[in-house]
Structures are given as C-alpha cells and as structure tokens.
Structure 1
Amino acid sequence: MNIAKIIGYNLRKVQEENNYSQKELGEIIDVTRQTISKYLNGERILDCGKLYKLAKHFNKSIDYFLSQDNNEDDMAFMFRADDLENNFNKILKEQISQRFNYYHEVIEMSDLQIKDYIPEEYNIEIKGDKLSKKEKETIAKIAEKQRRYMGVDDALNVNIFNLFEENNINIMAQEIYDQNLDALSAYSKDKGAFIFINDRKDIPEERKIFSVVHELGHLILHREEYSKDVSQLKYTNSGIKDIREKVADYFAMSFLIPAKVLESYSYYFDGYVDLDLIIEKKKDFGVSAKSLIMALKENGLIDGPTLGALFKFLRKRGFETAEPNPREYIKKNEKLLALVRKLVIEKKITINKAAVVLNIPVSEMRRKAKRWKNSGYNKT
C-alpha cells in the first residue's frame, strides 16, 4: 500500500470515529470537499502542514496517519461473555470495542497516572464440577485481598461502579436491547481492563452490581478464557452453569458479602429468619435477596431447608427474576464524564469527539460544554 493510500485509510477511520463530513474535514485544513475526497481515496497525498493540522485537531500523532498497523493484533481487546452463543456476536463485539477504545483515548489524553492497569491474575486448580470447601476458602481469600487492595476492607454498600473505576478497572455502562446480556469483560495489555454493563432500567441495580464483580472474578481467575476472535471464545450455556461460572459467582458473593462482616450480623439470623428480614438486611450490603440468602447458607447462618423455604417465598411473591424492594438507580460512567468535562474545558477535545465518546447528540454536548464552561471544573 502506498503512502497516499495509507494516509487516506487512516483519515477515513478518524472521519468515521468522529462523525465528520467531508466538508467539515476540509474546513480544518482549508480545502474543498472534492479535495478531501481525493485524500480519503488515496488519490492525492497530504502535505506535512495539512497532516499536522489534522493530527492536532483529532489528538492523533503524525505517525498514526502514516502507520499500517493501527489495527495491530496486540492492541485488540480480549473478550469473554457468558452464554456467548445467544448473547454475543461479532457486531456487538465491534460496537463495544469501539466504546472501550473511545474511553481509552480519553484516558490517554488525561493527566491520569495509570492508563493501562490489569488486575493481578490468580491460577487456582478446581477439581470436579462442584466447589470444595478448600476451593471456596481460596476464592474468598482472593476476594478479601481485592477488597483490601481497593481500600474498602469491612465497608458495606459502597458504590461498586465508582470503586472499581477509582482502582482503574474501567466501567462502561450503556443501555442495550438484549435482556440476556448483563455484562462482559475485556482487556488489552496496552489499554487495561474494561467491564461493560447493560444499563437497562428494567435490570435491577443489585443484579448489575453482582454482574460487574462477577466479571472482575473472571478477569482475575480466568484470564485464559479471553480471546480476540468471537468464534474462538469459550462460553457456557445459561441453563447449565459450568464450574467457571460457579467460581465467578462465589468470588462476587464473597466480595460483596464478606464472611467476617456477615458474622457480625449473626445475631439477626439466630433463630427465626423470614423473607421480610432478608429484604431489610440486604440493603445494608447493597445486594439482591438471593445473594444474601446464598451467603447466609454458605457461612452456616441458615440451613438448607431454610434456604429452600426462602427461595420458595421469593417465587410465590413474584420475585423469580424481579428484585424485592429494589434500590434506586445508580449513576454510572461518572469517571468518563469527569475526564471529558476537563478535556472540553481545557480545549483538548472537540465537541464532536466528546459527543461520540459520551454517546450523546452533538447538540446536547454543546449544551453541556456551555454549562461546564460557565460553572467551572467541579460542577455539572
């Protein structure tokens, strides 16, 4: 491929990413739409001065436009998703990859010290299709270590989305019309770790919280499952969870409901335990009723028959999939919004690019930018 074709190819990628028309591209370097068309098609080569203006405008390096390797394999995200056959395909992967890439571009432009964090990996050997007592203890210790690392120790009902982002696990929340997909995770050695969460309003916040921590469990414990190629991804049937899903579930439960904290609640459950008590106390932990019931059973605070009875009551009261007394909606993408706000105010990112990153109309982005500039960094 000759240099004009290479520049044209990369310029077209930038054009599509930023939703620019040929006319708008031409205005940046003071040329006509017809001339831009020739640049995009590789029929004419951009001179250094014009290339510099484009690179500066889009926060790209000159080398970006000259490189044939902007899609090089080691920059691609490695994905995993539960029930892949029904929930994840190449189109969705590309869409979410693009969202993650936009987020990473903002991180790269920011003054954040850590730009590509990937959590520590653990390789634990699991035998059989059920978790043994020793295996559960190992998973719980890893979850406890992660809590300590993130600085929450015995704290309860923390904002998991903000907590993860404060610890450089990037969360991208977006409403997608696929009820089957709750969350998925991905990582790149050059870009760090990302978790995507389906932010549909009809999915309980408790479920979203559990799903995010579940995905962290996979990032830590099942790194070998991740793949760049959708056709190569391993997956589990949603009806029959395999042992990897049980491991991630146990990690999430142990992270959200630490055994030593639950022990301090033992006097509440010493005797008669009904569904109303579960619904009341789940609020302290910020988890679902089902998660708290499972944690009580795992930690010996209720027995098997009590667990079965409580689950039966949940079903009878219409809470098979719905959540009793669900918590209010939690704002998400707050770190991304804060980074974009700072870049907009400092004029390091265009309004068009900011709109693409935040996935909002340009008109809405202009209103936000005006409000931000009138009110300072620390207000919305």
Structure 2
Amino acid sequence: MDNVAKIIGSNIRHLIEQNNVPISDIAQKIGVTRQTMSKYLNGESIIDSEKLFIIANYFGKPITYFLEKEHDEELSFMFRAHNPSANISMDEINRIQSRMEKVYEAYRLAGEKMFYIPEQYNLEFELERRDIPEDIEKIIERIANEQRDILDVGESVGKDLIKCFEAKGINIIFEKMNNPKLWGISAFHPKKGCFIFVNDDEDISEERKIFSMVHEYAHLIFHRDQYKKSQDSLQYSDFRSEITEKIANLFAGYFLIPRDCLKRHEHLLKNGITFGDLLFIKRELQVSLQALIYALRNYGYISEETQKKVMEKLYKYGYGTKEPRGMSYIPKNEKFFAIVRSLYFKEIIGESKVAELLNLKVKEARKKIKEWMENEWFGNEEQVQALI
C-alpha cells in the first residue's frame, strides 16, 4: 500500500512540476488542505479514487498513468494560434494531449499501425529574418511537390486528402474546441509517430481546417527540432509574425495548390480574372479563397499590388475570417470511429472504454453502441436473407 501511495504521489508531483501548477491550486480543486496534499505527494497517505479522477481529468491522463513507475517520453507540441499564450488554456492543452494518447491507444489495441515519421528538411537560412528568400521559396515548392508524391495525393482534395494522410500513417484528429482562435496543433513522438490535431469548430471553415492540417505537417518536416518535451516550454507561435509560420503557410499553399493544378485553369486566369472565376477555381480545388489568391501571386498570375487590393476588398466585405461559398461540413475521424467500433464488436473493449475513447458519457456511449448494433444487424446480408 505504501509503495502504491508513493508511486501515485510521485506521478502527481511530476505533473504539477511539469505544468508549473501551484500545489495549492490542485489541493483546492480536490477539496483538501495543502498539508493533506503534501501527504499525498510524499506517499504518506494514499489518495482516494474520486480525488485522483479529478486530478487525472485536469491533467488529461488516464487513471492507469498514476499507477505506473515509468512512462514513455511525453508527446511534444507546437501550437498555431492567434496570441496563443493568452488564448490557449492549460486545460485545453491537457485535453488535446489526452485525446492524442487515446487515439494512439485505440490503434494499438486494434493492432493497427499508425506510425509514420516524415523526412526532416533543413532550410539553410537565418530564421531571424522576416521574409523568405526567393531561392528558399523554390525549394519549399519542390519539397511540397515531393511530399504530394510521397503521400500519394494525386487528384485528392478535401475529405480524400485527409484519407491520404491517414493512409500513410499520420494520426489526424479533428475535434471541436469551442475556441475559434485555436486552429491546429502538431505533436511528434519517436515511438508513437506524428499527430496533427485540428479544431473542428463550426466557426472555422472546412477549407481553413484542411489548410491547418497541411500547415502543421509542414512544422513536422521543417521545424521538428523546435518541439519540446515539457508542457512548460511549449513553442507558442503567432502565425502572422514568425518566419517559421510563414514557411508553413507557404508550404501549405504549394501543397494544396500546385502549379500544375492552376495551369488547367489558365483559360480563366489569362483573360482577366473575375470574382466568379476565383470562386469556381476554389470550389474545384476545395481550398480557401485567400490561399488561392496567394497562390496566384506566388505563381505570377497576379502582381503583389493586385494581391493586396483583392485582400483589402475581401476584408472590407467581411471575408477576412469567413469563407465565401464555403464547403459543406466534412465528416471526420471516420477511421478512428471504425477502429473503436471494431474493438467493441470483437469484445476487446467494453462500453465504458468506448465512452473514454470517444470522449462520451457512458449513457451517450450506450446510445452510440445501440446505433452500431442496429446498423450491423440491418447491414448483415445473411440476417436479411433469413427474414425473406
């Protein structure tokens, strides 16, 4: 018993120190004095399961984490958001990490290999500068085309593009965060692979979500050395100012809108581009209008001056954050949901584990399982034939 108390206490202390959280805050959260909290941390008293559950939720860890003597190296994050230090809470950080760990656990239980670490590229120029040299821009375009081939993108756009990333073994997670200022987060682990988390908030356009996915992939191939192991030293980025964000934006633009794709629309682009033409091309490529305008500038179809004028008009008419004639909502996480469903039908996990993996209440998980059962029964040809 004493040994278990010390292991649990040591793990709680590690998380408190790692996340730079005052001990008094955790004591208050679980309703004990600071003295009692110190006894838990020192292993002098064993914490009860209800209080441990509160701490586990706060730090985004499963209960089993606190019973283990050793842990794998933590996932390390890079954030992409407006003024992230002010707009991303520690609760959100922990929630996202917990989600990634649950996705990893589901694939591990299913024996599904979702492990791919892309090649790392070193762009040899000073990251302190505010602009990207022209020769580096050409290198980024070449790398974007190489990565399209590696990921076997072909003609894929939108939903099919997400499938290309997953087919290669990259863990893509979409989840609503109720925080439209948080767009995307990426994580890297030498044993667990690469993870990309995208905010599925309805206030963010589908085009922006796909752009964020590719943008985070760019960080994984260009800036992997900036990923940190501890949450108190996370790399926060303001995408409007840092050169690393400009690199990721440029890569995403080249990746989503390669030069050859625009050549197919040259009959529209060379005869005076209208707003209707732009909307037609963006719908075909399933990209944001802003990304398309920047691509036209990068490929020389419009001048920098024209680009600025068009962007000013977009902001004037309210399209700075909203997407004109945006895509319909794309169902996401389908592969992960199918894995969890399969695990349940194979009796590898029960309904409580389904609830944990899908981030549902047990009552909601039971409803979801009932839907699965109905679909399974009506989708079984032998059972249907037996009724005839």
Short-chain TM bin: 0.7 to 0.9
Q: Deviations over 1:15-68 (max 9, x none)?
A: xxxxxxxxxxxxxxxxxxxxxxxxx9499xxxxxxxxxxxxxxxx99xx89741
Letter matched to residue 123 of structure 2: I
Aligned counterpart, 2:309? 309
Q: Which residue of 2 aligns with 1:228?
A: 229
- Shifted more, 90-99 versus 193-202: the winner is 90-99
8 Å contact kept, 1:4–1:42: no
C-alpha change, 1:347 and 1:319, in structure 2 (3 Å) is: same
Q: Residue 215 of structure 2 contacts residue 248 of structure 2 at CA under 8 Å; is this kept in 1?
A: yes
Please tell me whether residue 144 in structure 1 is matched to residue 142 in structure 2.
no
Q: Which residue of 2 aligns with 1:37?
A: none
1:1-380 map, 5 Å: 2-5=2-5, 41=46, 67-70=68-71, 72=72, 74=73, 76-82=74-80, 83-112=83-112, 114-127=113-126, 128-157=129-158, 159-237=160-238, 240-376=240-376
Deviation digits for residues 127-171 of structure 1, max 9, x if unmatched?
Answer: 332112211111111111111111123444453333222221112
Task: From the superposition, tell whether residues 157 and 269 of structure 1 become closer, same or farther in structure 2 (CA, over 3 Å).
Answer: farther
Cα distance, 1:276–1:171 mapped onto 2, change above 3 Å: same
1:282 Cα deviation after fit: 0.3
Instruction: Determine if contact 1:154/1:258 at 8 Å carries over to the other structure.
Output: no
Residue by residue, what CA displacement relative to the aligned partner does 1:235-292 show, whole Å, maximum 9, x if unpaired? 3335x42110110001100110011222222221002112221112101111111110
Per the TM alignment, residue 3 of structure 1 is displaced from its structure 2 partner at its CA by 4.2
Most deviating of 278-287 and 82-91: 82-91
Query: Structure 2: how far apart are the matches of 1:351 and 1:375?
Result: 17
Instruction: Mark the CA change 1:161 to 1:134 in structure 2 (over 3 Å): closer, same or farther.
Output: same
- Conserved 8 A contact 1:119-1:219: yes
What amino acid is the match of 2:224?
R
Q: C-alpha displacement at 1:90, in angstroms?
A: 3.1
Conservation of the 8 A alpha-carbon contact between 1:84 and 1:234? no
Indicate conservation of the 8 Å contact 2:114/2:170, yes or no: no
Return the offset for 1:172. Answer: 1.6
| Residue pair 2:173, 2:333 contacting (<8 A) in 1 also | yes
Q: CA 1:267–1:8 in 2, change beyond 3 Å: closer, same or farther?
A: same
Q: Is the 8 A contact 2:77 2:235 kept in 1?
A: no
Tell me, yes or no, if the aligned pair for 2:288 and 2:323 is still in contact at 8 Å.
Answer: yes
CA-atom RMSD in angstroms: 3.0
- Counterparts of 2:254 and 2:377, CA distance in 1: 37
Is the alpha carbon distance of 1:237 and 1:361 closer, same or farther for their aligned partners in structure 2, counting shifts above 3 Å? Answer: same
Alpha carbons 1:345, 1:369 under 8 Å: kept: no
Normalising by structure 2, report the TM-score: 0.77
Q: Distance in 1 between matches of 2:230 and 2:132?
A: 30
Cα offset, 1:179, TM superposition? 2.1
Q: How many residues align?
A: 331
> Given the two structures, how large is their TM-score scaled by the length of structure 1?
0.79
